[in-house]
Every structure is written in C-alpha cells, then in structure tokens.
Structure 1
Amino acid sequence: MRAVRAVDETELVDALAAGEVFDCAQDGSRRPVPASLVRQICRSGGAGIDPHGFRLRNAAIVGDLDLAGIELAVPLRFEACAFDSPLICEGASLHALAVTDCPAVPGLLGNGLRVRRDLDLSGSVVTGAHRTVASTSRRSAVWLCEADIGGRLLCLDTRITADGERAVQADRLHVGGNVRLLHAFTAVGEVRLIGVTIDGSLDLTGARILNPDGLALDLADATIGGSFFLIDDADGPPTIQGRIDLNSARVAGQLLIRDAVLREPPGAPVGGPYAKQRSDGTAVSAPRLTVGADVSVEGACDIEGGIDLSMSQMSSLSVTGTARLNAPRRTALNLTNAQVDSTLRIGDGVQVLGTVDLTATRIRGDLTLRGAVLSGADGGRPLLAANGAKVEGSVQLRGLRATGGSVNFFGADIGSFVEAAGAELTNPGNLTLSLHQASVRGSVRLIDGFRSTGHVNLTRAIVDGRLDCRDGEFIESSGSSYDRFGHAISASSAAFRGGMYLAWRAVDGSVDFTSTSTTVLADDPRTWPGRYSIAGLSYDRFGAAGGEPGADAWDSGLRRAWLRGQADYDAGPYEQAARVFRQHGYARQAEQILIDQRADARRSGPDRSVRRTLVDAVYGFTVGYGFRPGRVLWALVALLVAVVVSLQLGPLATSLRATDARGNVYAVDGRLVTVDAVSPSAPGQAPGAGGSTAGGSTADGAAVASTQRPAPDGCGAGQVRCFNPYFYALDTVIPLISLDQRSTWYPDPHAPSGRTAEWWLDLATLAGWLLSSVVVLSFARLARTL
C-alpha cells in the first residue's frame, strides 16, 4: 500500500484557482493538509481563488487551523475532512463557511465570527470542551457568541458531543435566515442560545438534545422572527432530555411541538445563579414568552415535567392529540397571569397529570377542555386552578374526566356559559367543581350525564343565565375537612337570574341553597335528597323539572312536603312559597302552606308548656292558625241552628217569659199574667172597696193575678217585643248584634224546663262570644299576613 502523500501548496493553489473541489482521498485514506497552508491561502483574502471558493474534500487537516481575524471573500468549505485540532475562526469575516460530513471536528471556536452567507455544519461530528473569554465557568464544543450569520445556520444530521459540558454556546448570536437543527441532529450537552436573534425560523425537526442534568436548550431572551418548530420526522420524534428555557423569548410566528419527547432533569429545580429557583416549568420554562401566532402541542407528545408559560402572551394555545403532560403533585401547565388572545384548548384524549394553573389568566376566546383527562394533583391542589381568571368566551368542560382534585374557578369572570355535559369529576370528600364568587354571563350546565363525586361549590356565584342540572348526578355522602356537612351542592347566597332547573338524576348527600335567589324554580320536589337547606331561597315562580309546562310544578301537596323536608325548620321558605302561589292565583294553596308553616313551627320549636301547645293545637284545628276563619263561621252557624231548633221544637220556648212596664207577664203564646190598674180608695174605706173585680194590688203594692183570661197576643198589643226564634238565636249567639230579643225574653226557672233553658242559653252566649272573638282575631291576623 502506498504511503499517503501530503498535499503540497502548488497543487492546492492550482485546484482552487481552477474553481475545482480539491479531493484529498487516496486509497481510501485522507491526504494530510497542513493547517498552516490553509491559513496562508486564506490570509490572501481569496486572491487567486475562483469565486466558487475554497473547497476541500476528504482532507486530514493537520495542526491548529487558526483563522481568527481573517477576512475571506469567497466561500470556505470542508467536506468529509478530519481535523485533529479545533477550528478557530473567532472574529473572522467569511463569505460562507461549510464544515459538512466531517467525521472529526474537535471543536469550533467562532465567537464574533461574521459570515455573510450560510454556516453549515451538516453531517459533521463535533467534539471537545473548550474555554473562551465568553464564559468564566463553562466549556463548550461549539462557540458562536456574538457571531453574525447573514444566511442560515444549518446542522442537518450533525452530532455534537461536549464531554459533559455545553454542546453549543452562542449567546447573542444573530442569524439572518433560518436555524435548522434537523433530522438526526444530536447534541450531548446544553445548547445555549441566550439572547439570539433569528430573523427566520428555528426548526428542530427530529432533533435530539441530551443534557439530563439540567438545561438542554436555552433560548432565554431570544427573538425569532419566524416560527419555532419542535416536530417529528420520518426517523422518529424529537427528544429533549433536560429543560427547555424560553424565558422572555419572542416568537413572531407559531410555536409548534408535535410528537415530541421532553424529559425534565430529575430532581433539578428551575433557576440558576441569577434566578430564583422553583419547581414549576421543569420541562419547558417559558415565563414572559411572547408568541405572535399559535402555541400548539400536538400528536403523541410525551412531556415529563411541567410547562411554565406564566405571564406569557400568545394568539392561542392548544394541546391536542394523545399528548401527555406528566408532573404529578406539581404544576403540569402554568399560565398564571398569561394572556391568550383567542382560544385555550386541551383536547379530547389529552392526559394531564398535575395542575393546570390559570390563575388570573386572561383568555379572549373560549376555554375548552372537552374530553381531557386530568389527574395526579397533590392533596389539596386543584387539577384546574382558574382563580381570578377572565374568560371572555365560554368554558367548555364536556366529557372532562378529573380525578383526585378540583376544577376551580374561584372569583373567575366568564363572558359566556359554562358547560360540563357528560363530565365526570371525582374527588370524594373534597371539592370537585367550584364557581365560588364567580361571575358567569351565560348559564351553568351540569347536564347529560354530568357526575360529581365530591362537592360542587357555587357559593356567591352570579349567573346571568340558568343553573341547569338536568340528568346530572351529585354524590357526596359524608362530610370532610372541606365540608363537614356533606353537601353535594352548595349554592348559598348565589344568584341565578335565568332560573334553576334541577331535574337531576340523583343526589346522594345534601344540597345547600341558603339565601340563593333566582327567577324560576323548576324542579321535582320528590327528587330532592334527604337533607337540604333552603332558608332564604327566593324565586318568582315554579316551573316543571324538565323545562316543559306541567301540572306538578304547582302541586301544592308536593311543595308542602318539600317544605317540611328541609334540614332545619325555617319560616322563610314557607312564606316565600306562599307568596309565589298567591301571586299566581293559588290563594287557597298559599294559605294551606302558611298553615303548615305554623304547625311545623309548633312541632319544631323549643320545649314549651303543655298549655301553650294545647292552645296552639286548638287554634290550628279550629281556624287553621287564622287562615281558615270559615271553620268558626260554620261553628257559629251550627250553634245558631241548634238554638233555633231548641226554641222551636223543644219545651224550652214554653219557659220563656217577658214582662211589660205594668207588670203583665207574657209567654211566647200570649199574656200569662195580667195586672189591672188599682183604683184609689175613699177615706175610711178598705183597700179594694172601690169595687174592682179584674185584679189589683195588695196594701203593700204587690201585684195580684187578674181573674180575667189572658189574651192570646204574645206581643201584648205592642207592650213587649214579639218573640222570634231566629232573631232570638242571633241575639243570643252573636255578641256584636243586639235585637232586644234576649233582653226581653228570659227563661223562667220555675217553669218546666226553665232551669235547663237558662243554662243552655247562657252556654250558647259564652260559646258565641268565644267563636266570634276567634273569627275577628283571625281576620285581623290574615289581613296583616296579606
């Protein structure tokens, strides 16, 4: 085998002058080219070199190739060359630089390099760990700090191994075109691009960056004029082992992550010597990121660790496909104080293990989590924390699956409806869904198979639309540290201006609607749970449970049973229901509800005396606590009839007597005793000597009976008021009426049945007084209630 002959200056210069590619291959080996020769030719600035440039193939560059400060007007290309020392071009000014398919490049030191066209490292293997003045603490295989590339930076199938240090350090690099780290591009070590300015796009299709101990890709403060792509290619997904840092970066186009595998550094907190350490954003740390178009996480992305987009601004954010965000017991997606100019979407089938934090986030479109799967929150941490968030569109939770944490919209401002149709929220003994103090411009729909195993908190929420629980299930059978009462639904002091449609499928636990206000209460009173609180619940009318007109909506029997079933007696719900019934023309049903209220108050009140309990019972039985005065009127009528009948059919009437002014005594059938006037006696004549034969009086003035027969006239020719049994009964029973019947006719105790008549009429008078007084008091109380 021939010895490999070194390249001499003449043949190299001649080839370059002819514009040829000088191929140094010899018998499968590379001919050595002294680095000093290359430097010597380049120092001429390209004089004598064809405009096609300095093109060297299959050469073995021997020695340190130091092109620092050199200006070369033609392209400089090394193809399939092997270097035994780093390529140094710091401060050089080149037309173009290509180091392609080179199997051994022990480093590239290009701080301050100026390349008018492309810098191409495609297919090359770069190794080493070198120090420069750009860093006092770290070494790197490739240095491009403050370099300026007028065209593209190409690293297709490039492999950079940094021997445990940084693979690339290119702080404040400027690239006029695209940066393409594509296909089998592999960097073992950190790729640091802090403050870079890329006028085109950053494309990491199929790239692999491996730095398991910390930062893998550092784009803090970067400015990208196009888009940022981290997507798969035909050979497989892009893989980043270590953290991606996009702190304060600006991307004018879209940020697309598709089918990527991102792995956080194990146990490594976010931060550095000049930043506060935190545990969020351990896979992607991008606080204050600005993206002019969409941020998309698509396909089968597998992200181990959190994504921090706090205080960021973007056109829209979508996580779709079968993406998986895995940060158990931590924050999986952080959008705290971020602004999304359109829709924020976590799509069907996306799995999020950890918390999605939307605290104080502003979303100008819809927030959609249709079919998403949330789990893995720690203890009291929510799965979705949207405290104080502002969503100008709707919140769509249809088909959401949330296990082991809550979906929390505490104090949120939602510009349209909240829909959770078919959602399943499971957090036994704790919060599942919270709209506490939230403002919702539309309706809240917990419908069509919605299932909550835990506590739904709607306390102090203001909802301009409906609360719709049609076909929903609410299960919370035991109390917890969060809610010791075991409420499945709590909506105390909430306002639902479009009505409450409570056609739930089942409620296991209690519900709390204390001081809740609404317009329509559409429910089936028979489906309420065994324990509920409705004190202070106010509404304007009832509606059918399914929203369709139905007679059950105004079934007072069902409603009265519903009122009696409240957990703790309160008079307010009775008063409210009665008012609604009365306003809609159901006055009698309203009165019955108020009667029930008094009866339930008597049964539920504190221990009282037997006398008071008995009085209340009699009051309720007789006049229905003042709402059934007709019962006493019928009793008065019955008493009147009894008195009339006793006066007409019995012997009592024959014992009645009346006396006129002269002393004549009358029975109801005529004069019974007649007393005539007494003539004066002559002096010395005995009394009665005047010769009167009809009757007279004794010497002491006492009247004596006349020998004349009584007249059949019971009125004494107008001397006494005629007896009328009907008027006599009224005068006896009704104390407010005086017809002078009872004062004229009195029972004679010496007559047959006279004593009985006396007792009977006195008792009838007392009963009439009592019943009449009750009637008057009942009407007065009813007037106050009305």
Structure 2
Amino acid sequence: MDDPAAGDGWGPERVVRGAALTWLLLDGGTAEPGHVPALRLAGARIDGSLELDYAEIPYRVTMDACDFRGRITLYSARTRQFSLKHCRLVRFYAANASVDGTLRVHRCQLDGLLKLDGTHITGVLDLDGSVLTNSDGPSLAADRLQVDDHIRMRHGFTAEGEVTLRGAHVGGDLDMSDSRLSNPGNVALTVAQMHVEGDVLCDRIKTVGQVDFAGAKVMGVVRFWGAQLSNPGRKALYGYHLEVGTSLHLNSGFSAEGSIELAGARVTGRITLEEARIMAPGGVALALPHAQAEEVDLRMAQRPQGLVDLRHAVLGIIRDGWASWPDELKLDGLRYDRFENPLPPGQRVRWLLRDGSGYTPQPFEQLALTYRSLGHEDEARTVSLLKERLRRKTLPRPAQVWGVVQDITVGYGYRPMRAVFWLLALLVLGSVVFTVQRPTRAGSGGTEVFNPVIFTLDVLLPVIGLGQGTAFTPTPGTQWIGYLLTASGWILATTIVTGVTRSLNRR
C-alpha cells in the first residue's frame, strides 16, 4: 500500500470527501442482523475535515494508510473503537469524547495537535510509533484524560512540543519505553497530578526539556532504565510530592543533564540511582529534601556534578560508596536507619563535613545514633567527640579554652579513661616530688606517718580527706607543686562531671 505522505500523487479513484465520510458515520444506516457495524477504509486521501462533534457513532472505525487533508474532530462525541494506523493527519481533536474500546493512533504522522482533554477511553490508548509535531504549542494535550486500561506511547513514539497528561487517570500502565520527547527550554512531558493504577515505564526514553511528575501518584513502579534526560541548567526531572507505591528506578544507564528534584516524594520501596550519571555543574544535581523511602541506592557511576540535597529526608537503608558522593552535600535533618556499608567514623565524618552550610549538630547526632543502634558504641562516641570539637569553633574565646581543657582531659566525657591516666600521671609526679622533698609536719603536730602517695592523693582529690593534707605542709620549694595538684584536681573533677553529664544527656 502506498505511503500516505505521497497522497498528492494519488488519482481521483482514491480520493474521498470528508463530508461523505461524515454522512456514512452519522446516517449510514443500520447493520444487518448478526453483523458487527464497522467502517473500514485503507489507502485513501480524505479531502476536507471529518466533523463528528457531539456525534453518536455506533460503528467501529478503522482507517489504514490514509492521508487526511483536513482535521478530525470528535469533540464530546460517543464512539466505539476508533483506529487510525499508518495515517497522515493534520489535527485530531477528541476532547471530552467517550470511546467504548480502544482509541488507536498507531504509527501515524500528525502535523498538529492531538487533543484528548477530558476524554474517557474504556480500553487502551495506543499511540505506539506515532510522530507528533506542533510548532505552535503542545503536541499532545490530554489533561484529565481517563483510560481504563493502558496508555502506550512506545516503539519510537516521538513528540515535538509538550506532551501533557496533567490530572489524567490510568487504570493500567503508562508505557513510554523508547519514546522521544522534545521541547527545548520548556516542559517536554507533564504528568503532574496523574494517577496510575499500574506502572510508569520510561525505559530508554530520551527527552529534551523538563519531565514533570509533580503530585503524581503511581501505585506500582516508576522506571527510567537507560533513560536520557536533557535540560541543561534546569530541572531534568521534577517530582515534587510524587508518590510511588513500589519503587523508583533511575538506573541501568540512566543519565540526566540537569537536576533531579524529588522534594517531598514518598516511595514505599526503594529509590535507586545505581550506575546513574547526573550532570548539573554549579547547581543542584539531586534534591530529596523531605523525601521518604525505605531504601535509597546512591552508588552512582560517577560523582554527581552538582549539589546533593538530603535535608530532612527520612530514609531506611542508605547504600552508597565513598567515590559516589559529590563535593557538596546538604544533610541537616536527614534521618536514616542504617548504612549498608557503615565505613569507619573518620570517613563518615568527612562525609558530613561536605555540608558547607556550617556547623549543625543533627547530622552528627544521627550518625552517632546509627552506629549505636548497630552496636558500634566506640564509633558512636568518636562521632560525638568530633561533633563537640567542631562545635567548639563556633563558641566565644573563653568557652573555646574551656572546651580545649575538656577535650584534653576527658574528651568531652566520651573518653573518660583519659581522666584516669591524668590522675595516675599527677599521682606519680607528686609522689616522686614529695619523696625527694618531704613536707614538714604541720604546727598542730600529730602522730601520722608521712606517705608520699597518700599525701599526693589528699592534695589532688578535692572532695576526699585522708588526713595527710592537714598533717603535713609542703616545703617552700614544692608548694607550687601542691597548688598545681590541687588546681588540677578541681579541673579534672569539674570536667569529668560536665563531660559525663553531657554524654548521659545525649543518650
């Protein structure tokens, strides 16, 4: 059969007037008993428009390899299955129509708008392989579309101009695998507020322009295996408050030139970006603020070029690798259960330090809590100690000095054994000094026998009286050692109480 693009060369025997087809569909008579009424036309050029607004069409309509020179309008019409295959079209308006069965625009060339706003299709919407081009606006306008079965826009479906399915309801799957959408500098695909009972499949899709999933609700999987999204300097994928009932896959060769922004998204299962590539230099590469997911896989093929924002996200398991994190992160308020690969605390703290927002305690407390929940108490204390050291830099100078004392003596309460070592060192120092230079007996006399170790303990421990400190007085040459021991004892006691209290309060 001839290509409808060559319709100019067809003879009069292959020309049908649009008005004649309209008459056949509206007043063509009644089908004989036992026969299914249908209109079938192939290889014809239709001159004039096919005007079927508000019509009741009792026939199945099938047109194959036809060249339509005028528009097809089915505004608010009611029809049975309507099928166009391998046709060349100018415009197809079927807003608010009702189709009892399948609406098929299969492998057609449409040089204008396909309008399906508010249409109800009880079967499948089949746009496989069609090429839609509209230089004046959207190529497919299907806001509030209701399809009880699947929407298929696969196998090279191409749209030059926005494809909009805002507020649509799909009873099955939305399958856009291997499609090509282009609207440079603007929105290429809008499925905002869409409700899909099945899956959204965008495997190997290629887009130029923004893909908008804001407020969409998908009961099954959202999958972008091998997809290539391009909107440099802008949002490549926008999913504000997207809800996914199973999992969101941006992997298996997925790439994006532009940001992936999923603020407030809720994914019941997993968000995976394994082996993905995101390129948004100087901007936000991946934004998941306030998002929720049971698991997130961030083991990308290379470090994202741009900022990764995880502020106030609630994640279960985080799968990551040291080489997959960008140079800059936003982590304040991030909550998670555990890392699949915990990593030593030093590396995890360096991960936290990639947040250039300044010191915030919550990320450190969350990391310490995670280590503690895994039974890694030493790692948790290490993180808490490093948090206090960073906090110290934000304090006034006197508080910084006191912080240094707490750090050196007891590690802010997270290294209590340091106090024992300091006490032993001071005890040895005092015992040696007072053995060499024995103190003199106090003027009140007494019968106590001098013991340098007990005397040193009595001087060193401010709240314990062992009798030696009052019975003996250091010689003038060693008095300063006694003062040093007493002062050190008070400092140790104070820092121990302060540090241990802080440690207990953080648990």
Q: TM-score, normalised by structure 1?
A: 0.60
Deviation at 1:625, TM superposition (A): 2.9
Residues 474 and 200 of structure 1: CA distance in aligned 2, closer, same or farther (over 3 Å): same
**Mapped partners of 1:452, 1:488: distance in 2:** 9
> Structure 2 CA distance, aligned partners of 1:642 and 1:511?
54
SS state of the match for residue 426, structure 2?
A: helix
| Cα displacement string for residues 285-326 of structure 1 (whole angstroms, at most 9, x for unaligned residues) | 001222222222223x211111111111111112223x2111
What is the CA-CA distance between 1:159 and the residue it aligns to? 4.6
Q: Look up the equivalent residue of 2:105 and give its one-letter code.
A: V
Question: Which residue number in structure 2 is paired with residue 175 of structure 1?
Answer: 29
Residues 736 and 359 of structure 1: CA distance in aligned 2, closer, same or farther (over 3 Å): same
Tell me the CA shift for residue 724 of structure 1: 2.4
* CA deviations over 1:698-744 (Å, ceiling 9, x no partner): xxxxxxxxxxxxxxxxxxxxx62222222222111111211111111
Corresponding position of 1:284: 92
Q: CA deviation at 1:219?
A: 1.7
Q: Give the structure 1 partner of residue 79 of structure 2.
A: 251
**Bigger RCO of structures 1 and 2 (CA < 8 A, at least 6 apart):** 2
Q: Secondary structure at the match of 1:742?
A: helix
Residue aligned with 1:383, SS = strand
Deviation, 1:407, is: 1.3
In the alignment, what sits opposite 1:457? 261
Matches within 5 A, 1:481-630: 486-496=283-293, 498-506=294-302, 507-544=304-341, 553-569=342-358, 570-603=360-393, 605=394, 609-630=396-417
1:755 is paired with a residue of what secondary structure?
Answer: coil
Q: State which structure, 1 or 2, has the greater radius of gyration over its C-alpha atoms.
A: 1
CA distance in 2, matches of 1:563, 1:596: 11
Cα deviations across residues 499-524 of structure 1 (Å, max 9, x unaligned)? Answer: 11111122001111111111112212
Q: Structure 1 632/200 Cα, relative in aligned 2: closer, same or farther at 3 Å?
A: same
Query: Structure 1 residue 431: deviation in Å?
Result: 1.4
1:222-268 per-position Cα deviation (integer Å, ceiling 9, x unaligned):
33333211213xxxxx100121011122222x2221111112xxxxx
Match of 1:737 among 455, 464, 476: 464
Corresponding pairs, count: 491
| Map of 1:345 onto structure 2 | 152
> Contact conserved, 2:328 with 2:354, CA < 8 A, in 1?
yes
Paired with 1:296 and 1:159, the residues of 2 have a C-alpha distance of 23
Q: Which residue of 1 aligns with 2:222?
A: 418
Secondary structure of 1:467's counterpart equals: strand
**Contact 2:308–2:328 (Cα < 8 Å) also in 1:** yes
Q: Is the 1:658–1:720 Cα contact (8 Å) retained in structure 2?
A: no
Looking at structure 1, the residues matched to 207 and 479 of structure 2 have their Cα atoms a distance apart, in angstroms, of: 85
**Distance of 2:381 and 2:77 partners within structure 1:** 71
Q: Which amino acid aligns with 1:741?
A: Q
What's the CA shift for 1:609?
4.8
* Counterpart residue type for residue 341 of structure 1: D
Whether contact under 8 Å (1:512, 1:533) holds in the other structure is yes
Structure 1 position 221 matched with structure 2 position 54: yes
Structure 1 counterpart of 2:38, one-letter code = S
Query: Could you tell me how far 1:634 is from its partner in structure 2?
Result: 1.2
Match of 2:425 among 635, 638, 645: 638
- SS of equivalent to 1:476: strand
Is 1:261 matched with 2:57? no
Report the Cα distance in structure 1 between the residues aligned to 2:140 and 2:222, rounded to whole angstroms: 21
TM-superposed deviation, 1:329: 5.2
- String of CA shifts for 1:679-703, please: whole Å, max 9, x gaps: xxxxxxxxxxxxxxxxxxxxxxxxx
Distance 1:329 1:518, change over 3 A: farther
SS of residue paired to 2:441: strand
Report deviation, 1:632: 2.8
Q: Aligned partners of 1:413 and 1:294: how far apart in 2?
A: 24
**What percentage of residue pairs aligned between the two structures are identical?**
28
SS in structure 1 of the partner of residue 42 of structure 2: coil
Give the whole-Å Cα distance in 1 for the aligned partners of 2:155 and 2:194. Answer: 22
Equivalent position amino acid for 1:231 in 2: D
3-state SS in 1 of match to 2:476: helix
Do the aligned residues in 2 keep the contact of 1:581 with 1:590 (CA within 8 Å)?
Answer: yes
**Over aligned residue pairs, what C-alpha RMSD do you find?**
2.3
Does the residue aligned with 2:162 lie in a helix, a strand or coil? strand
Determine the structure 2 residue equivalent to 1:204: 41
1:740-751 equivalences in 2 (<5 Å): 740-747=467-474
Distance change >3 Å, CA 757–CA 722, structure 1 → 2: same
- Tell me the distance in 1 between the aligned counterparts of 2:43 and 2:280: 49
Aligned partner of 1:108 in structure 2 is none
CA contact (8 A) 2:217 2:242 kept: yes
Contact 1:335 1:361 in 2 (8 A): yes
Q: Equivalents in 1 of 2:489, 2:357: separation in Å?
A: 40
Using the TM superposition, give the Cα deviation of residue 168 of structure 1 relative to its aligned residue in structure 2, in angstroms.
Answer: 7.0
Cα distance in 1 for residues equivalent to 2:246 and 2:386: 37
Match of 1:57? none
TM-score between the two structures when normalised by the length of structure 2:
0.91
Give the whole-Å Cα distance in 2 for the aligned partners of 1:292 and 1:741.
104
Aligned to 1:400: 205
Deviations 1:740-765 (A, max 9, x none): 11111223xxxxxx211333223222
* Secondary structure class of the residue paired with 1:591: helix
Q: Deviations over 1:396-428 (max 9, x none)?
A: 11100001x111111111101111111000001
Could you say if the C-alpha distance between residues 158 and 639 of structure 1 is closer, same or farther in structure 2, counting changes exceeding 3 Å? closer
Contact 2:442 2:470 survives alignment (8 Å): no
SS in structure 1 of the partner of residue 124 of structure 2: strand
User: For 1:247 and 1:161, how far apart are their aligned partners in 2?
Assistant: 20
Matched letter for residue 361 of structure 2: A
Task: Give, in whole Å, the separation in 2 of the partners of 1:424 and 1:735.
Answer: 71
Shift of 1:174: 4.5
1:431 match: secondary structure: strand
The answer to whether the 8 A contact 1:633-1:775 is kept is no
Pair 455,580 (structure 1): closer, same or farther in 2 beyond 3 Å: same
Please state which structure has a larger fraction of its residues in helix.
2
Q: Secondary structure at the match of 1:331?
A: coil
Question: How far does the alpha carbon of each residue in 1:116-135 deviate from its partner, in whole angstroms, 9 at most, with x for none?
Answer: xxxxxxxx97xxxxxxxxxx
- TM-aligned CA distance change 1:207 to 1:785, over 3 Å: same
**CA–CA distance in structure 2, aligned partners of residues 513 and 160 of structure 1:** 61
Alpha-carbon distance in 1 for matches of 2:290, 2:219: 21
Gaps in structure 1 of 5+ consecutive residues:
1-123, 126-156, 179-197, 233-237, 264-282, 479-485, 545-552, 666-718, 748-753
Determine whether 1:373 maps to 2:200. no
2:263 and 2:490 mapped to 1: Cα distance? Answer: 54
In 1, distance between residues paired with 2:36 and 2:396? 91
> In 2 relative to 1, CA 534–375 (structure 1 residues): closer, same or farther, beyond 3 Å?
same
Residue deviations 1:638-667 (CA, integer Å, cap 9, x gap): 00111122233x1x12x432566xxxx6xx
Q: 1:295 maps to which residue? A: 103
Mapped contact 1:175–1:199 kept (Cα < 8 A):
no
Structure 1 residue 160: Cα displacement: 5.9
Residue 495 of structure 1 and its aligned partner are, at CA, apart by 0.9
Alpha-carbon distance in 1 for matches of 2:420, 2:476: 29
Partner of 2:440: 656
For residues 589 and 418 of structure 1, the distance between their equivalents in structure 2, rounded to whole angstroms, comes to: 37
Q: Distance in 2 between matches of 1:371 and 1:351?
A: 9
Asked if 2 retains the 8 angstrom alpha-carbon contact of 1:394 and 1:418, the reply is yes
Change (3 A) 1:393 1:492: same
Counterpart of 2:467, as a letter, is D
